[in-house]
Amino acid sequence: MKRTFQTRFKNKIKLLWSLIKSPQTLLLLMTGLAGFMSSRCPWFNFPILLGVAGSLFLAISGSTVLNMWYDRDIDSLMKRTCWRPLPSGKISPNETLVFGITLSVLGVGWALAIDLLFGFIVFAGLFFDVVVYTIWLKRRTAWSVVWGGLAGAMPVLAGRALGTGRIEWVGILLALAVLSWIPTHILTFSIRNQEDYKRAGVPTFPSTYSVPTTLRVISASTVIAAIAMIMAAVGIDITAGQMRLLAVLSSGLIFLAAASMLRPSDKVNFGLFKYASLYMLSAMLLLAAVVF
């Protein structure tokens, strides 16, 4: 009896965990922590650090779960997503909705309790992601990707604003870097899964403006992300050694973006997507390392 309960509990946790898209959530959480630590505030204050990490994790997870809840009908039509717990019937929509709202309320509430400006930006991220991107624009226009990007840019802006006490140009540049990186992620998937999106009736850049145009947009936004990141690093005044490494990583990103534009192929495009994710993680670690 006890064993059955334990197994069911474990399975439930596993299912709920799969709803939060952990790699994406943890990467966005990392951007928030990097934004906070890059301000060189007295970051090793355990309750505040725990608060930043905890509130961002809950809010980002909450918006992802709500996004999955709203998109369950189109997820069930797409090969890439039909195995997810919600479209495959492993978890009920009501349960998912309650889970998403709980995480979101806890996350935003905790963020507001830490600092009003921080909490407001965290809430803005959730609002842009769930209401503007998912509910309002995703099924209407290919340009919804901009709002998805804006939502993803909020954690780093929130972290930086908490550290500095205001929204300043370095925070905006960091947000611009994340905003420009997110289309690389979303548009790459929209190219690889064109048929899926077509079947689900979701307008995408490849279906609206063609694949070559989408590849150019991906390359251009990747280059903007690299430039914004370097400018932010200058503003943060990272060490010469860290700046050299960031310049090297950015050169690789720009090289791959150029290769993807000049000789487009699925492999190079997907390589650019993977490199861009690694780049974002490495750049954020470098920025966070200024406190040491």
Partner 1 sequence: MVKITVLDRILLSLSILLAAYQIVFGIEGSNQLGIASYTIAFGVLLIAALLLIILGFQVLDSPAVIIISTIIPLSLSLGLISEFFPKYAPGYIIFAVAGFLVVMVSRYFAPKKTATIILIVVHGISGLLIFGLPIYLSVIGTTNKGFALVGIGGGLFGIGGMLLSFLITGRPILPRERILSILPVLMLLTIAAFVAGFALA
Given the rule CB under 8 A, which residues bind partner 1? 239-242, 244-245, 247-249, 251-252, 255-256, 267-268, 271, 274-275, 278
Q: Which is nearer to partner 1, 92 or 239 (CB)?
A: 239
Smallest distance, partner 1 to C-beta of residue 180, A = 20
Q: Which is nearer to partner 1, 47 or 241 (CB)?
A: 241
Neighbours of 116 (CB within 10 A): 10
Smallest distance, partner 1 to C-beta of residue 249, A = 8
Smallest distance, partner 1 to C-beta of residue 76, A = 32
Q: Which is nearer to partner 1, 195 or 237 (CB)?
A: 237
Q: Which is nearer to partner 1, 179 or 287 (CB)?
A: 287
Smallest distance, partner 1 to C-beta of residue 188, A = 13
Alpha carbons within 13 A on the beta-carbon side of 282: 19
90 and 15 Cβ atoms separated by less than 8 Å: yes
Q: Which is nearer to partner 1, 201 or 241 (CB)?
A: 241
Smallest distance, partner 1 to C-beta of residue 292, A = 12
Closest by CA to 107, choosing from 84, 79, 130, is 130
36 and 163 Cβ atoms separated by less than 8 Å: yes
